[in-house]
């Protein structure tokens, strides 16, 4: 699976990037080829999906057993590679951090992306949840059924949301970082939760200088704790990779994965796969995410042969 974090890794926009040479990628699906001596619960030949701390974009991947999950019989390998990051992130933000319940409202940015689509599907499993989404206007036709109210990502969504819901929303999920923090907090109802889970605005140009990187952080609004107290608002952050690989919460993630696979089996959720790419086409695939051309998830498929390109522009292709 390709994720926005992979673009940040490529551009060096993350804490302590690993030394090169480096194989990127944090999630994959495939068939078990070999087991460690003490591994229980899996057999060679099992169809599985897994989280990996880098090195996922490869023909053979090695990862500890606690990050590996069996794929349901009716799930394809491409769906399985699209499943772990997006759905676990969406589920944990909505239900573990923000405590989504019946009748609440959620604002999600990049509603057409992998996490955005997972959020929309999970919200539909709870009665009467209103979903406000922002997305590029060319995606609106394709995703309009998945959210309740859809706005152009360049429009003044604060006014649009307030026009529909005067007192704002219960949950704001923000992957944009920076100039949107103040807007997100201003839209929260009392006891509402704002969650920052990514920083896609930090990936702007093809190359990003340290100066422009520092500037994007400099624009992040300062949050005043006293104001949070007076307004009864919650501000939170969520990083699935840190939870898994730095904070040793693999058991918690496994419990969430069990719930998600149950929802999948009951046909309540289904990963949206945008497109499949050969390993050789990783540059074009990354450009498609960079240009925000995708609806759902991009997948690198090691068995796929490269397609002759018809145009240089990834969005057209």
Q: What is the CA radius of gyration of the chain?
A: 19
106 is a domain residue: yes
Domain presence at residue 306:
no
d(CA 91, CA 197): 12
In angstroms, the CA 269 to CA 256 distance is 14
- Tell me if 290 is assigned to some domain: yes
Please indicate, yes or no, if residue 124 is contained in any of the structural domains. yes
Q: Do residue 204 and residue 77 come from a single domain?
A: no
Q: Does 223 or 253 have the greater pLDDT score?
A: 253
Place of tokens 């590029």: 136
Has residue 207 got a pLDDT over 60? no
Kindly state the percentage of the chain with pLDDT values over 90: 72
Whether residues 269 and 170 fall in one domain: no
- Kindly state whether residues 174 and 295 are assigned to the same domain: no
What distance in Å separates the CA atoms of residue 225 and residue 231, rounded to the nearest whole number?
A: 10
User: What is the pLDDT of the chain when averaged over all its residues?
Assistant: 89
Confidence of residue 103 (pLDDT cuts 50, 70, 90): very high
In a shared domain, residues 113 and 95: yes
pLDDT higher than 60, residue 209: no
Q: Do residues 70 and 169 share a domain? A: no
CATH number for position 173: 3.40.50.720
Shared-domain flag, residues 25 and 93: no
pLDDT (average), residues 175-189: 83
Last residue of a domain, one of 198, 219, 243: 243
Say if pTM beats, i.e. exceeds, 0.75: yes
Q: Is residue 204 part of a domain?
A: yes
**Residue 305: inside a domain, yes or no?**
no
CATH number of 53's domain:
3.90.180.10
* pLDDT for the residue numbered 54: 94
278 part of a folded domain: yes
**Pair (124, 218) in one structural domain:** yes
Three-state secondary structure string covering the chain? CECHHHHHHHCCCCCCCCCCCCCCCCEEEEECCCCCCCCCCCCCCCEEEEECCCCCCCCCCCCCHHHEEECCCCCCHHHHHCCHHHHHHHHHHHHHHCCCCCCCEEEECCCCEHHHHHHHHHHCCCCCCEEEEEECHHHHHHHCCCCCEEEECCCCHHHHHHHHCCCCEEEEEECCCCCHHHHHHHHEEEEEEEEECCCHHHCCCCCCCHHHHHHHHHCCCCCCHHHHHHHCCEEEECCHHHHHHCCCCHHHHHHHHHHHHHHHHCCCCCCCEEEEECHHHHHHHHHHHHCCCCCEEEEECCCCCCCCCCCCCCCCC
Same domain for 123 and 29: no
| Within a domain: 308 | no
List, in order, residues 6 or more apart from 47 with CB less than 8 Å away.
29, 30, 31, 70, 71, 77, 80
Total domains, the chain: 2
Verify that 219 and 260 share a domain, yes or no.
no
Contact between residue 160 and residue 147 where contact means Cβ atoms under 8 Å apart: no
232 and 103, same domain (yes or no): yes
CA distance 216 to 239: 19
- In this prediction, residue 206 carries a pLDDT of 44
pLDDT at 13: 74
Is the pLDDT confidence value at 316 over 90?
no
Per-residue pLDDT band at 20 (split at 50, 70, 90): confident
Last residue of a domain, one of 243, 260, 281: 243
Range of the domain at 114: 86-243
Q: How many CB atoms lie within 10 A of CB 197?
A: 20
End residue of a domain, out of 196, 217, 243: 243
Do 127 and 163 fall within a single domain? yes
Q: What tens digit of pLDDT does each residue of 74-92 get?
A: 999 999 999 999 999 999 9
Q: In this structure, are 167 and 128 located in the same domain?
A: yes
């Amino acid at each position: 699976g390709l994720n926005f974090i992979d673009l940040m890794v490529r551009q060096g926009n993350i804490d302590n990037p690993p030394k090169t040479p480096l194989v990127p990628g944090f999630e994959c699906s495939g068939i078990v080829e070999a087991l460690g001596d003490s591994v229980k619960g899996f057999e060679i030949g099992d169809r599985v999906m897994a989280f990996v701390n880098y090195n996922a974009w490869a023909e053979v991947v090695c990862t500890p057993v606690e990050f590996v999950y069996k794929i349901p019989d009716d799930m394809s390998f491409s769906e399985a590679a699209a499943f772990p990051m997006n759905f676990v992130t969406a589920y944990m933000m909505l239900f573990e951090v923000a405590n989504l319940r019946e009748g609440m409202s959620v604002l999600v940015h990049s509603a057409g992306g992998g996490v955005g689509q997972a959020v929309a599907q999970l919200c539909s499993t709870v009665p009467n949840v209103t979903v406000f989404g922002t997305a590029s206007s060319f995606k609106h036709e394709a995703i309009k059924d998945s959210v309740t109210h859809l706005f152009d990502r360049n429009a003044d969504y604060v006014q649009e949301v307030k026009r529909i819901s005067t007192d704002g929303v219960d949950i704001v999920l923000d992957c944009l970082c920076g100039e949107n923090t103040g807007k997100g907090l201003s839209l929260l109802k009392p006891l509402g939760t704002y969650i920052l889970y990514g920083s896609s605005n930090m990936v702007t140009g093809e190359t990003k200088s340290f100066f422009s990187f520092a500037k994007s952080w400099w624009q992040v609004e300062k949050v005043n704790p006293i104001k949070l107290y007076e307004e009864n608002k919650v501000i939170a952050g969520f990083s699935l990779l840190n939870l898994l690989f730095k904070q040793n919460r693999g058991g918690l993630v496994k419990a969430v994965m069990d719930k998600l696979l149950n929802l999948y089996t009951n046909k309540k959720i289904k990963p949206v796969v945008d497109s499949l790419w050969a390993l050789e086409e990783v540059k074009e695939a990354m450009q498609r995410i960079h240009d925000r051309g995708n609806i759902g998830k991009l997948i690198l498929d090691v068995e796929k042969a490269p397609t002759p390109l018809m145009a240089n522009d990834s969005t057209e292709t």
